[in-house]
């Protein structure tokens, strides 16, 4: 297989792009660096495409290595033919390759291997080839051997049938055709394993064709089966499958071998082929569903990480609870912890007045501008309490509901213990909630991406794949935003291209010992941060108040000279990008630059020049500022206030295959089903909405018993 050609076809890119990108990856360049600073080389491939590229490259290389190994193993047995070699070369997926190798694999003792030990293989060949005119029962008599345990003619024929059944089962062509039929025509059927209420009731009597069943239903069925609420089977066109094998094996329906082979084929199918095909189909469906879920999870996580920060505010983090009390943490505009308290405004204590007194004192003492309320247990009761409290105050103070997914994981982590060794575990959650409102990215990178919780069935998918995918997503988000080298935590720094956890800690230690870093090149003094790491990370690290104004931008050190020349040609110096008035003029002049001509003059790629112009136009600007801001509230909406046809603003909290969950300010997020996302047909909800989007929705259904709301964006 030509790997380069295959990737080019799958990703719809040129062979030259594939070759150049593979070289960059093999040379040890990171995906964020390639995506941002090697656009000319890759032909402007995005970070998402490059991640997919890397996955496919690894898979196809593993496939080629396995082909070589299987070819060698079959050859060592002296059974490698040109036909087998061609089949191996043509195989495009690992399961197809393993089907080819199946007949040559070392097997455990099976009925067929036992029959072979009894010397019945020649008899199986006679029956399979169907050429003998002599009565098969007379031939079988020659194979009776009491010592080997073949006591009768029937024993001999049964043993021969076992050998033929296994050979039929191992035939890669049959397996390929059977799988193809099943993926076109088979139906997945689920039934209740026990008659009791569960989240899986819609699957208690359910069927859907394999080719149309969406990934979220596969994962739901898998979970229902695992929790023993469901029984699952795959209904296949059995007659068609048996007919396929019989037509190929049985040469003459009237021959003496016909009945024996008929029984053998049915036994082979029922006992050997069907169970393993079922397993393979379920595995294949699960893998595809998992890949889809991981993509959805990754996209949602990226949007959550890129939520805009709310700067220059003192925040009260409010971690709601019942019995154990609501935890409070006051965080100043720089993220520093000022105070912690615990109040009990919710059940069972209901100490509303005592809680109000504590919070009002904190607001007065620290001039709090904003309250961040976690969206977990007791969130809505806490929201009502905070809303009432704020309405009684003269100054305008708003609150926002913040996702607290993973806050408890962070609270008990080694990192949280290092950050706040003297703070109780339960109070650390309130700190995390407050900081998430101030700077979601800086706070969320401290948590295992799996714990962020913005997907579907994230605990049911392949955890290694999920972890790798989400690490890539976090890397892309961090490098897209850029990192202040002098304030970033080791957690944040460790996601910068080229920087591992050791180097991240070394940067922080270097800062602590030597004071603020004044220039990017100073990073070369950090232990273990060599030339290669510097090239990868430099453009993503920002140095504010340093010696070179270009270092508050994403311009890479390799392009400083070109950026300076560009500004000189326009009549400016690098220092001018720091002055407000001059910067306005620079922006205007940069808009007029003829990219093609200027790229030639500077001897630089057009894409690189465009990026330099973008960076010089908005030095030090956070790209998250373009994202929708969180909804800030001052009053509360109760479930009882909801009416059909009510129009509301809400925040998208989660996007799945079947729709989007939107926080409209009541206890549970409302669901906008995929059919209600747009007036047009929607294939994938992610095309319409992203996590964090602020959307206008209409209430179209209210289920008071289940406290569920159906919403529509088809206004």
The pLDDT-based confidence of 480 (bands split at 50, 70, 90) is very high
List all residues 6 or more positions away from 705 whose beta carbon is below 8 Å from its beta carbon.
none
Q: What is the CATH number of the domain that holds 280?
A: 1.10.3500.10
Looking from the CA of 3 toward its CB, the CA atoms found within 13 Å total 17
For residue 642, give both structure tokens.
């909801």
Q: What is the CATH number of the domain that holds 26?
A: 1.10.10.650
Q: How do beta strands 541-542 and 483-484 pair?
A: parallel
What local confidence, expressed as pLDDT, does residue 507 receive? 96
Q: Are residues 252 and 380 in the same domain?
A: no
For residue 615, give both structure tokens.
């960076």
Rounded Cα–Cα distance for residues 209 and 234 (Å)? 9
When pLDDT is averaged across residues 346-372 and rounded to a whole number, the result is: 94
Cα–Cα distances in angstroms (integers) from residue 443 to residues 137, 429, 449, 503, in the given order? 79, 11, 11, 20
Q: Are residues 154 and 292 in the same domain?
A: yes
Asked whether the predicted pLDDT for residue 600 surpasses 70, the reply is: yes
Domain final residue, candidates 626, 651, 685: 626
Q: Are residues 327 and 400 in the same domain?
A: yes
Q: Are residues 605 and 662 in the same domain?
A: no
The pLDDT-based confidence of 456 (bands split at 50, 70, 90) is low
- List the one residue out of 428, 559, 544 whose CA is nearest residue 485: 544
- List the one residue out of 475, 423, 456, 493 whose CA is nearest residue 289: 456
Specify which residues 231 forms β-bridges with: 191
If 0-12 CB within 10 Å is exposed, 13-18 middle and 19+ buried, where does residue 232 land?
A: middle
For residue 427, give both structure tokens.
């109070």
Rounded Cα–Cα distance for residues 688 and 676 (Å)? 11
Q: What is the DSSP letter of 270?
A: I
Q: Are residues 521 and 603 in the same domain?
A: yes
Rounded Cα–Cα distance for residues 416 and 161 (Å)? 65
When pLDDT is averaged across residues 43-54 and rounded to a whole number, the result is: 94
Residue 467: inside a domain:
no
What order do you get walking across the sheet with 230-235 strand by strand? 205-209, 187-192, 230-235
What local confidence, expressed as pLDDT, does residue 154 receive? 94
How many CB atoms are located within 10 Å of the residue 312 CB? 9
Residue 649 near residue 631 (C-beta atoms within 8 A) = yes
What local confidence, expressed as pLDDT, does residue 636 receive? 61
Asked whether the predicted pLDDT for residue 422 surpasses 70, the reply is: yes
How many CB atoms are located within 10 Å of the residue 636 CB? 17
Residue 389 near residue 343 (C-beta atoms within 8 A) = no
What local confidence, expressed as pLDDT, does residue 453 receive? 61
The pLDDT-based confidence of 562 (bands split at 50, 70, 90) is very high
Which stretches within 458-579 are classed as H helix?
463-481, 490-493, 501-514, 531-537, 560-569
Rounded Cα–Cα distance for residues 363 and 613 (Å)? 44
Residue 314 near residue 368 (C-beta atoms within 8 A) = yes
Q: Are residues 618 and 513 in the same domain?
A: yes
Rounded Cα–Cα distance for residues 649 and 628 (Å)? 12
What local confidence, expressed as pLDDT, does residue 485 receive? 94
Residue 232: inside a domain:
yes
Residue 412: inside a domain:
yes
For residue 198, give both structure tokens.
């569960």
Return the higher-pLDDT residue of 117 and 195: 117
For residue 421, give both structure tokens.
């060794």
When pLDDT is averaged across residues 245-251 and rounded to a whole number, the result is: 95
Which stretches within 27-170 are classed as H helix?
31-37, 39-42, 47-76, 82-90, 94-101, 111-117, 121-129, 136-141, 153-170
Rounded Cα–Cα distance for residues 327 and 355 (Å)? 11
Residue 707 near residue 639 (C-beta atoms within 8 A) = yes
Q: Are residues 171 and 265 in the same domain?
A: yes
What local confidence, expressed as pLDDT, does residue 637 receive? 66
The total number of structural domains in the chain stands at 5
What local confidence, expressed as pLDDT, does residue 452 receive? 73
When pLDDT is averaged across residues 407-425 and rounded to a whole number, the result is: 86
- pLDDT tens string 495-553: 999 999 999 999 999 999 999 999 999 999 999 999 999 999 999 999 999 989 999 99
What local confidence, expressed as pLDDT, does residue 362 receive? 96
Residue 446: inside a domain:
no
Q: Are residues 167 and 206 in the same domain?
A: yes
Rounded Cα–Cα distance for residues 692 and 702 (Å)? 24
Looking from the CA of 532 toward its CB, the CA atoms found within 13 Å total 8
What local confidence, expressed as pLDDT, does residue 627 receive? 73
Domain final residue, candidates 393, 410, 438: 438
Q: What is the CATH number of the domain that holds 354?
A: 3.30.420.140
Tell me which residue has tokens 């950090």. Answer: 526
Q: Are residues 152 and 286 in the same domain?
A: yes
Q: What is the DSSP letter of 273?
A: I
The pLDDT-based confidence of 454 (bands split at 50, 70, 90) is low
What local confidence, expressed as pLDDT, does residue 402 receive? 87
Q: What is the DSSP letter of 214?
A: -
Rounded Cα–Cα distance for residues 649 and 659 (Å)? 17
Asked whether the predicted pLDDT for residue 635 surpasses 90, the reply is: no
Residue 500: inside a domain:
no
Q: Are residues 278 and 322 in the same domain?
A: no
- List the one residue out of 527, 490, 529 whose CA is nearest residue 508: 490
Domain final residue, candidates 581, 598, 626: 626
When pLDDT is averaged across residues 47-73 and rounded to a whole number, the result is: 94
Q: Are residues 571 and 601 in the same domain?
A: yes
Name the strand (E) or helix (H) holding 663: strand 659-663
Residue 579: inside a domain:
yes
What local confidence, expressed as pLDDT, does residue 298 receive? 85
Ramachandran sector of residue 94 (left: φ over 0; alpha: ψ -120 to 50; beta: rest): alpha
Residue 499: inside a domain:
no
Q: Give a three-class secondary structure readout of 324-375.
A: CCEEEEEECCCCCEEEEEEECCCCCCCCHHHHHHHHHHHHHHHCCCEEEEEC
When pLDDT is averaged across residues 287-295 and rounded to a whole number, the result is: 88
Across the chain, how many H-helices and E-strands are there? Answer: 30, 15
Q: What is the CATH number of the domain that holds 540?
A: 1.10.150.310
Residue 234: inside a domain:
yes
Residue 666 near residue 380 (C-beta atoms within 8 A) = yes
The three-state secondary structure class of 251 is coil
Q: Are residues 20 and 55 in the same domain?
A: yes
What local confidence, expressed as pLDDT, does residue 608 receive? 95
Backbone φ, ψ for residue 588 (5° rounding): -60, -45
Backbone φ, ψ for residue 106 (5° rounding): -65, 120
Report CA dihedral (265, 271, 277, 283) to the nearest 10 degrees: 180
The range of the structural domain enclosing residue 185 comes to: 148-297
């Amino acid at each position: 297989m030509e790997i380069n050609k295959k990737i080019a076809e799958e990703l719809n890119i040129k062979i030259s792009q594939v070759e150049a990108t593979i070289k960059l990856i093999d040379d040890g360049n990171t995906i964020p660096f390639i995506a941002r600073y090697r656009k000319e080389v890759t032909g402007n491939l995005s970070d998402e495409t490059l991640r997919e590229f890397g996955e496919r490259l690894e898979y196809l290389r593993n496939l080629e290595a396995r082909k070589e190994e299987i070819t060698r193993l079959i050859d060592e047995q002296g059974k490698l033919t040109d036909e087998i070699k061609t089949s191996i070369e043509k195989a495009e997926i690992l399961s197809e390759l393993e089907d080819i190798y199946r007949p040559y694999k070392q097997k455990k003792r099976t009925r067929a291997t036992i029959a072979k030990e009894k010397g019945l293989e020649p008899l199986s060949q006679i029956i399979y080839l169907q050429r003998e005119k002599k009565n098969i029962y007379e031939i079988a008599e020659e194979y009776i051997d009491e010592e080997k345990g073949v006591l009768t003619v029937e024993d001999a024929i049964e043993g021969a049938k076992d050998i033929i059944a296994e050979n039929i089962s191992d035939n890669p062509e049959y397996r390929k055709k059977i799988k193809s039929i099943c993926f076109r025509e088979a139906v997945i059927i689920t039934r209740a394993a026990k008659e009791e209420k569960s989240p899986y009731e819609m699957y208690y009597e359910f069927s859907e064709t394999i080719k149309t069943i969406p990934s979220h239903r596969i994962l739901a069925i898998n979970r229902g089966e695992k929790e023993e609420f469901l029984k699952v089977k795959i209904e296949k066109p059995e007659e068609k499958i048996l007919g396929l094998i019989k037509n190929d094996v049985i040469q003459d329906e009237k021959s003496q071998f016909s009945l024996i082979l008929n029984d053998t084929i049915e036994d082979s199918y029922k006992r050997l082929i069907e169970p393993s095909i079922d397993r393979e189909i379920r595995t294949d469906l699960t893998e595809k569903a998992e890949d889809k879920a991981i993509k959805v999870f990754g996209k949602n996580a990226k949007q959550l990480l890129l939520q805009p920060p709310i700067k220059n505010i003192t925040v009260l983090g409010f971690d709601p609870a019942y019995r154990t009390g609501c935890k409070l943490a006051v965080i100043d505009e720089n993220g520093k912890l000022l105070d912690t308290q615990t109040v009990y405004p919710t059940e069972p204590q209901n100490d509303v007045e005592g809680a109000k007194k504590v919070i009002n004192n904190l607001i007065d003492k620290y001039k709090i501008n904003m309250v961040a309320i976690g969206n977990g247990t007791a969130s809505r009761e806490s929201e009502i309490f905070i809303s009432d409290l704020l309405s009684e105050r003269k100054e305008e103070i708003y609150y926002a509901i913040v996702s607290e997914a993973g806050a408890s994981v962070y609270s008990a982590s080694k990192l949280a213990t290092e950050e706040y060794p003297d703070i109780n575990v339960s109070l650390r959650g309130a700190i995390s909630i407050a900081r998430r409102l101030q700077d979601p990215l800086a706070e969320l990178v401290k948590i295992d991406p799996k714990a962020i919780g913005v997907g579907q069935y994230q605990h049911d998918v392949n955890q290694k794949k999920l972890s790798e995918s989400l690490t890539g997503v976090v890397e892309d988000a961090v490098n897209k935003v850029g990192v202040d080298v002098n304030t970033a935590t080791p957690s944040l720094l460790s996601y910068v291209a080229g920087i591992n956890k050791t180097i991240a800690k070394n940067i922080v230690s270097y800062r602590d010992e030597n004071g603020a870093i004044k220039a990017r090149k100073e990073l070369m003094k950090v232990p273990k941060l060599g030339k290669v790491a510097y090239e990868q990370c430099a453009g993503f690290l920002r140095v504010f108040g340093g010696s070179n104004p270009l270092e508050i931008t994403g311009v890479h050190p390799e392009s400083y000279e070109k950026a300076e020349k560009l500004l000189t040609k326009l009549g400016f110096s690098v220092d001018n990008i720091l002055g407000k008035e001059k910067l306005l003029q620079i922006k205007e002049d940069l808009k007029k630059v003829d990219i093609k001509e200027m790229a030639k003059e500077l001897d630089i790629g057009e894409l690189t020049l465009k990026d330099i112009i973008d960076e010089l136009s908005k030095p030090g600007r956070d790209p998250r500022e373009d994202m929708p801001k969180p909804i800030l509230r001052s009053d509360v909406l109760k479930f009882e206030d909801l009416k059909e046809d009510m129009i509301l603003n809400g925040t998208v909290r989660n996007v799945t295959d079947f729709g989007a969950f939107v926080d409209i300010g009541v206890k549970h997020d409302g669901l906008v089903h995929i059919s209600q996302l747009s007036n047009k047909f929607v294939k994938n909800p992610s095309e319409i909405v992203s996590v964090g989007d602020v959307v206008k929705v209409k209430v179209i259904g209210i289920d008071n018993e289940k406290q569920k709301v159906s919403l529509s964006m088809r206004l």
